[in-house]
Structure 1
Amino acid sequence: MLLSMDAENVEEKEKEEEILNKQSPEELQAEAEKLKNAANEFFKNADYVKAIELYSQAIEKWPRLAAYYGNRSFAYIKTEMFGLALTDATMALQLDRSYIKAYYRRASANMALGKFKLALKDFEAVVKVKPSDKDARAKFNECGKIVKRIAFEKAIAVEEKPVSETIDLESLTIEGDYSGPVLEDGKVTLKFVQDLLDTFRDQKKLHSRFAFQILLQIKDLFKNQPSLVDIDVPKGQKFTICGDIHGQYYDLLNIFKLNGLPSVDNPYLFNGDFVDRGSFSVECIFVLFSFKLLYPDSFYMARGNHESATMNQMYGFEGEVKSKYPFYFSKSSKMADLFTEIFNLLPLCHCINNKILLMHGGLFRDENVTLDDLRKVDRNRQPPETGAMCELLWSDPQMMCGTSDSKRGVGTMFGPDVTKKFLQKNKLDYIVRSHEVKQEGYEVIHDGKCITVFSAPNYCDQMGNKGAFINITGDDLTPKFTSFEAVPHPNVKPMAYANPLFGLF
Structure 2
Amino acid sequence: MTATLTDDIVATVLESIEDARKYEDDKEKASIIKDEANQFFKDQVYDVAADLYTVAIELHPTAVLYGNRAQAYLKKELYGAALEDADNAIAIDPSYVKGFYRRATANMALGRFKKALTDYQAVVKVVPNDKDAKAKCKECQKIVRRQAFLNAISTDHDKKTVAETLDISKIAIEDSYEGPHLEEKITREFMMELIQKFKSQKKLHKKYAFKMLLDFYNYVKSLPTMVEITVPAGKKFTICGDVHGQFYDLCNIFEINGFPSEANPYLFNGDFVDRGSFSVETIFTMIGFKLLYPNHFYMSRGNHESDVMNKMYGFEGEVKAKYTQQMSDMFTETFCWLPLCHLINNKIFVCHGGLFKEDGVTLDDIRKVDRNRQPPDEGIMCDLLWSDPQPINGRSPSKRGVGCQFGPDVTSKWCESNGIDYVVRSHEVKPEGHEAHHNGQCYTVFSAPNYCDQMNNKGAFITITGDNLSPRFTEFDAVPHPKLPPMAYANSLFGFN
User: Post-superposition shift, 1:37?
Assistant: 1.4
Q: Could you say which residue in structure 2 is the equivalent of 1:84?
A: 81
Q: Residue by residue, what CA displacement relative to the aligned partner does 1:334-356 show, whole Å, maximum 9, x if unpaired?
A: 11111111111100000111110
> In structure 2, do the counterparts of structure 1 residues 81 and 504 end up closer, same or farther at CA, with 3 Å as the change threshold?
closer
Within the alignment, does 1:180 sit opposite 2:179 as a pair?
Answer: yes
User: Post-superposition shift, 1:165?
Assistant: 0.8
Q: Is the 8 A contact 2:351 2:425 kept in 1?
A: yes
Which amino acid letter does the alignment assign opposite residue 120 of structure 1? L
What is the 5 A alignment of 1:271-290? 271-290=269-288
What is the 5 A alignment of 1:454-473? 454-473=446-465
Indicate the SS of the match to 1:357. Answer: strand
Q: Is the 8 A contact 1:361 1:395 kept in 2?
A: yes
Q: Residue by residue, what CA displacement relative to the aligned partner does 1:282-310 show, whole Å, maximum 9, x if unpaired?
A: 00000000000000111000000111111
Q: Could you say which residue in structure 1 is the equivalent of 2:127?
A: 130
Which amino acid letter does the alignment assign opposite residue 133 of structure 1? D
Q: Could you say which residue in structure 1 is the equivalent of 2:169?
A: 170
Q: Residue by residue, what CA displacement relative to the aligned partner does 1:337-385 show, whole Å, maximum 9, x if unpaired?
A: 1111111110000011111000000000111001111111111111111
Indicate the SS of the match to 2:128. Answer: coil
Which of these residues, 335, 340, 363, is aligned with residue 332 of structure 2?
A: 340
Q: Is the 8 A contact 1:40 1:51 kept in 2?
A: yes
The 1-side partners of 2:238 and 2:117 are apart by 44
How many equivalent residue pairs?
475
Which amino acid letter does the alignment assign opposite residue 153 of structure 1? L
The 2-side partners of 1:192 and 1:154 are apart by 40
Q: Could you say which residue in structure 1 is the equivalent of 2:235?
A: 237
Q: Is the 8 A contact 1:143 1:501 kept in 2?
A: no
Which of these residues, 474, 480, 501, is aligned with residue 493 of structure 2?
A: 501
Q: Is the 8 A contact 2:23 2:29 kept in 1?
A: no
The 2-side partners of 1:47 and 1:484 are apart by 22
The 2-side partners of 1:237 and 1:31 are apart by 60
User: Post-superposition shift, 1:418?
Assistant: 0.4
Which amino acid letter does the alignment assign opposite residue 405 of structure 1? P
Indicate the SS of the match to 2:484. Answer: coil
Which of these residues, 319, 323, 335, is aligned with residue 321 of structure 2?
A: 323
Which amino acid letter does the alignment assign opposite residue 482 of structure 2? P
> In structure 2, do the counterparts of structure 1 residues 450 and 107 end up closer, same or farther at CA, with 3 Å as the change threshold?
same
Q: Residue by residue, what CA displacement relative to the aligned partner does 1:121-168 show, whole Å, maximum 9, x if unpaired?
A: 111111121122222122111111111111112223344311001111
Q: Is the 8 A contact 2:101 2:119 kept in 1?
A: yes
User: Post-superposition shift, 1:73?
Assistant: 0.5
User: Post-superposition shift, 1:451?
Assistant: 0.5
Within the alignment, does 1:116 sit opposite 2:116 as a pair?
Answer: no
Q: Could you say which residue in structure 1 is the equivalent of 2:31?
A: 33
Q: Could you say which residue in structure 2 is the equivalent of 1:264?
A: 262
The 2-side partners of 1:257 and 1:42 are apart by 36
The 2-side partners of 1:101 and 1:226 are apart by 45
**Cα RMSD (Å):** 1.5
The 2-side partners of 1:57 and 1:494 are apart by 32
Q: Residue by residue, what CA displacement relative to the aligned partner does 1:432-475 show, whole Å, maximum 9, x if unpaired?
A: 00011111111101111110111111111111211111111111
Q: Could you say which residue in structure 2 is the equivalent of 1:446?
A: 438
Which segment drifts farther, 119-128 or 294-303? Answer: 119-128
Q: Could you say which residue in structure 1 is the equivalent of 2:420?
A: 428
The 2-side partners of 1:138 and 1:386 are apart by 32
Q: Could you say which residue in structure 1 is the equivalent of 2:306?
A: 308
The 2-side partners of 1:134 and 1:140 are apart by 10
Indicate the SS of the match to 1:496. Answer: coil
What is the 5 A alignment of 1:180-219? 180-184=179-183, 186-219=184-217
Percent of aligned pairs sharing the same letter = 61
Q: Where does structure 2 lack aligned partners over 5 or more consecutive residues? A: 1-21
Which of these residues, 219, 222, 225, is aligned with residue 221 of structure 1?
A: 219
Q: Could you say which residue in structure 1 is the equivalent of 2:90?
A: 93
User: Post-superposition shift, 1:503?
Assistant: 3.1
Q: TM-score, normalising length from structure 2?
A: 0.93
Q: Could you say which residue in structure 2 is the equivalent of 1:66?
A: 63
Q: Could you say which residue in structure 1 is the equivalent of 2:380?
A: 388
Indicate the SS of the match to 1:423. Answer: helix
Q: Could you say which residue in structure 2 is the equivalent of 1:353?
A: 345
Q: TM-score, normalising length from structure 1?
A: 0.92
> In structure 2, do the counterparts of structure 1 residues 229 and 504 end up closer, same or farther at CA, with 3 Å as the change threshold?
closer
Q: Is the 8 A contact 1:66 1:99 kept in 2?
A: yes
The 1-side partners of 2:364 and 2:490 are apart by 38
Q: Could you say which residue in structure 2 is the equivalent of 1:400?
A: 392
Q: Could you say which residue in structure 2 is the equivalent of 1:141?
A: 138
User: Post-superposition shift, 1:277?
Assistant: 1.1
Q: Is the 8 A contact 2:353 2:426 kept in 1?
A: yes
User: Post-superposition shift, 1:316?
Assistant: 0.9
Which amino acid letter does the alignment assign opposite residue 152 of structure 1? F
Which amino acid letter does the alignment assign opposite residue 477 of structure 1? L
The 1-side partners of 2:252 and 2:474 are apart by 12
